[in-house]
Amino acid sequence: MINLAARDIQHSWAKFVLTGLGLGLLIGVTLTMAGVFRGMVDDAQALLNNSGADLWVVQKDTQGPYAEASSLKDDVVRSITGMPGVDMASNITYFTMQVKTVGGKEARAMVVGIEPGAKGLPGQPSYLLAGRHLMLSHYEAVADIKSGLSIGDKVEIRRHTYEVVGLTRRMVSSGGDPMVFIPLKDAQEAQFLKDNEAIVNDRVRTAVNGAFNRPAVPGLLEAVQNLQTSSRNVNAVLVRVSDGWSADHVAEPIRRWKHLTVFTRADMEEILIEKLIATSAKQIGMFLVILAVVSAAIVAFIIYTMTLGKIREIAVLKLIGTHNVTIAAMILQQALGL
């Protein structure tokens, strides 16, 4: 039985190899699409794992900081740190942009603003492959190796140039973009501070507004203009709960008394996987179903065609008394060989 299948393959080996190659490419595309979807889910989970947070505190009635825009004042972290069950908390900003190296190359990256010199706080890079963590309050950066940056490279983010002092790994956004960590103050300025022309225009508009430019109230106009140019906002506060405390129990008082939205790890996974990448997941899932159906149909057609091509041989085998099980096993062996 085995010799019959092998000899038939040897007799038409070119046809068999080409058929197997085409079928392999089709199945390979199907597996690749499944891998792409799995990679998207893995990137989303890596984003949460690498943050080191148990709770995400964001602007009320938003699903930030990854799925929606969120804005909080940076002094909120002090009141959250004093809440029961909070071990540590830290401010953080996220925004995605094209970063430029001094050589002119561009790379898509998620820029993350963190507190320098605060290793171990939520949001900090969990480990480094080379270099050191951020120590200065300005003009230093730690980058994921996927960005293509190296120690000592210069990278331009908005108005300023930063030197890469550390390299980390597997620090990516939910879309797979590498992260670049810069000091929080610089990140606040890059994300929230307007350009010089916009600031001048806002000051002119404020100055011609009689509600703010009151001669009887000196200093009012300057105070309002200073507020307009302040960049004291963050996107979220990352919280790590103390040992023995439940994340849900710690989150409830923050929601109640601070009037903020708080997400646990389970909540954030649902937002990232079931909402943020839901459309892409549906598209890939539909494509997978179509590919699976097409692959199954092609395999069935190939087996059917191969069987039809052996009608005479099968008839001879039947004449000499070969059992149907033996003939079916021969066809099955060739199908498995493909």
Q: What angle do CA 273, 106, 142 make, to 5 degrees?
A: 70
CA distance readout (Å), 277 to 18, 44, 62, 89, 272:
38, 9, 17, 28, 6
SS3 101: strand
SS3 182: strand
Tokens representing 5 are: 């299948």
User: In this predicted structure, what is the pLDDT of residue 307?
Assistant: 78
Q: What angle do CA 109, 73, 209 make, to 5 degrees?
A: 105
Low-confidence ranges of the chain (pLDDT < 70): 1-12, 193-196, 198-200, 202-203, 221, 223-230, 334-335, 337-338
> How close are the terminal C-alpha atoms of the chain, in Å?
17
User: In this predicted structure, what is the pLDDT of residue 228?
Assistant: 62
Bridge partners, 106 (sequence order): 100
User: In this predicted structure, what is the pLDDT of residue 4?
Assistant: 57
User: In this predicted structure, what is the pLDDT of residue 267?
Assistant: 93
Tokens representing 250 are: 């710690």
CB neighbours of residue 189 within 10 Å: 18
Helix or strand run (H / E) with residue 322:
none
User: In this predicted structure, what is the pLDDT of residue 32?
Assistant: 85
Digit-coded pLDDT (tens) for 217-246: 777 767 666 666 667 889 999 999 999 999
The answer to whether the Cα torsion of 18, 23, 24, 25 is positive or negative is: positive
Q: What's phi and psi for 84, nearest 5 deg?
A: -60, 135
Bridge partners, 157 (sequence order): 160
Tokens representing 208 are: 């011609």
Question: How far apart are alpha carbons 257 and 85 in whole angstroms?
Answer: 15
User: In this predicted structure, what is the pLDDT of residue 184?
Assistant: 94
CB neighbours of residue 296 within 10 Å: 10
User: In this predicted structure, what is the pLDDT of residue 40?
Assistant: 81
Digit-coded pLDDT (tens) for 282-315: 888 888 888 888 878 887 887 787 777 777 777 7
User: In this predicted structure, what is the pLDDT of residue 2?
Assistant: 47
CB neighbours of residue 58 within 10 Å: 24
